[in-house]
């Protein structure tokens, strides 16, 4: 950093998650002081920060706290005095059980509103980023989807994200806050939680490569997603916050693949050729060389009202942020399998 240039300060909520960790690394690399609010300052959920080797970084500060305490948020903003706030904290797994409804709504929906209000009260000059989702589009009539596509969420998670999206717009238009919405399509990486389908798959195939005879059980194999690479999406998020005007951007790869395609890529990454047999709930994936069944369908993982196809048009991010998703899905998948393989080797 050149002399005389002031070091920027960022607050990242959800810093222990996939995106929070990659964004923290990116910001530290740019000379920021980064504050994160993990729900607790110790424990196994710090593994991502450890794996990227930034947990002990002298400019990374972890201040325990959630998004449900307004007083804490006000105090944090006053004490940290950030230039930029990035909100990634959320219950991010879409199928929410009845017991999680209140927590999900509070973290994913109301949390961002609390943050915006705390910003307005303490210093409306603080910039704000909200991590919105393609799940806000839900049922669509047109493809690909862009910033002008109407929203029609199909699950409470999508509705909670939409509530946060509108509050971000409201605080921008009504209170003049530099508040940006990202509409993020799926983005994956070796830091993805194992609940999500890509990591569930790469971990299973890495284990098979280590000699495990486990069977991978999945829901709808024909479900399609627009899958990109998480670190690239964080670069776009940062660029949004450096723009002249606050705005809303779709971040997407513009291509879709099925869960079945992703399984085949993971199998290929461990030099296995899978052959599919049977249909519907009876479908299985067999290792062509040994004849062993490696994948089978389990309806317990089916989702209600699954959208047929969401695919994003990131043309605006291309034009205004000079950004595009460029890592091929095959490379993302191979990278994830290899990291899972290395982790398993290490822990053995």
Which residues sit at the interface with ligand NDP, rule CB under 6 A? 14, 16-20, 38-39, 45, 66-67, 88-92, 103, 107, 131, 133, 184, 186-187, 193
Question: At which residue do the structure tokens 């980023």 appear?
Answer: 129
Is 127 in contact with 81 (CB distance < 8 Å)? no
What three-state secondary structure class fits 225?
Answer: strand
- Asked if residue 92 binds ligand GDR (CB under 6 A), the reply is yes
Residues 110-139 that bind ligand GDR (CB under 6 A): 133-135
| Least distance (Å) between residue 95 CB and ligand GDR | 7
Tokens of 186: 């799926």
| Least distance (Å) between residue 306 CB and ligand GDR | 6
Pairwise CA distance, residues 316 & 335, whole Å: 28
Q: Radius of gyration of the chain from Cα atoms?
A: 21
Work out which of 46, 62, 183, 197 binds ligand GDR, going by CB under 6 A.
197
What three-state secondary structure class fits 318?
Answer: helix
| DSSP tag of 9 | E
- Asked if residue 200 binds ligand GDR (CB under 6 A), the reply is yes
Nearer to ligand GDR, 41 or 276 (CB): 276
Pairwise CA distance, residues 264 & 123, whole Å: 50
| Least distance (Å) between residue 299 CB and ligand GDR | 10
| Least distance (Å) between residue 73 CB and ligand NDP | 11
Pairwise CA distance, residues 250 & 241, whole Å: 14
Contacts with ligand GDR: how many residues (CB under 6 A)? 20
**By C-alpha distance, which of 185, 187, 205 is closest to 196?**
187
Strands 187-188 and 216-218: unpaired
Is 180 in contact with 78 (CB distance < 8 Å)? no
Nearer to ligand GDR, 73 or 90 (CB): 90
Work out which of 281, 306, 309, 331 binds ligand GDR, going by CB under 6 A.
306
Interface stretch with ligand GDR, choices 38-46, 72-80, 214-222, 335-343 (CB under 6 A): 214-222
- Side-chain half-sphere exposure of 130, counting CA atoms within 13 A: 34
Nearer to ligand GDR, 9 or 295 (CB): 295
Helix (H) or strand (E) holding 34: strand 33-37
| Least distance (Å) between residue 215 CB and ligand GDR | 12
Nearer to ligand NDP, 83 or 188 (CB): 188
Q: Which entry of ligand GDR, ligand NDP, none binds 88, CB below 5 to 8 A by partner kind?
A: ligand NDP
Question: At which residue do the structure tokens 């927590």 appear?
Answer: 103
- Asked if residue 260 binds ligand GDR (CB under 6 A), the reply is no
Chain positions contacting ligand GDR, by CB under 6 A: 92, 94, 133-135, 185-186, 195-197, 200, 218-220, 223, 225, 259, 301, 303, 306
């Amino acid at each position: 950093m050149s002399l005389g240039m002031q070091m920027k300060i960022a607050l990242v909520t959800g810093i222990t998650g996939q995106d929070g960790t990659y964004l923290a690394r990116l910001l530290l690399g740019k000379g920021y002081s980064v504050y994160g609010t993990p729900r607790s300052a110790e424990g196994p959920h710090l593994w991502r920060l450890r794996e990227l080797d930034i947990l002990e970084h002298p400019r990374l500060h972890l201040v325990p706290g959630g998004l449900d305490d307004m007083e804490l948020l006000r105090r944090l903003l006053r004490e940290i005095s950030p230039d930029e706030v990035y909100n990634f904290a959320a219950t991010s797994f879409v199928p929410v059980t009845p017991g999680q409804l209140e927590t999900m709504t509070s973290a994913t929906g109301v949390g961002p509103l609390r943050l915006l209000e705390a910003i307005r009260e303490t210093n409306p000059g603080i910039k704000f980023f909200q991590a919105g989702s393609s799940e806000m589009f839900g049922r669509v009539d047109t493809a690909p989807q862009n910033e002008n596509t109407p929203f029609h969420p199909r699950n409470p998670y999508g509705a909670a994200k939409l509530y946060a999206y509108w509050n971000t717009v409201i605080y921008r238009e009504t209170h003049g806050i530099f508040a940006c919405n990202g509409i993020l399509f799926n983005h994956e990486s070796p830091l993805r939680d194992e609940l999500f389908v890509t990591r569930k798959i790469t971990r299973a195939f890495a284990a098979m490569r280590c000699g495990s005879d486990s069977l991978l059980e999945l829901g709808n194999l024909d479900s399609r997603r627009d899958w990109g690479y998480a670190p690239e999406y964080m670069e776009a998020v940062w660029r949004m916050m450096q723009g002249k005007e606050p705005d809303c951007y779709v971040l997407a790869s513009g291509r879709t693949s099925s869960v079945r395609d992703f399984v085949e890529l993971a199998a290929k990454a461990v030099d296995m050729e899978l052959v599919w047999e049977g249909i519907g709930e009876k479908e299985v994936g067999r290792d062509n060389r040994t004849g062993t069944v490696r994948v089978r369908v389990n309806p317990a993982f089916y989702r209600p009202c699954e959208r047929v196809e969401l695919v994003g048009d990131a043309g605006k991010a291309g034009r205004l942020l000079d950004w595009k998703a460029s890592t091929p899905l095959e490379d993302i998948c191979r990278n994830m399998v290899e990291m899972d393989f290395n982790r398993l080797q290490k822990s053995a």
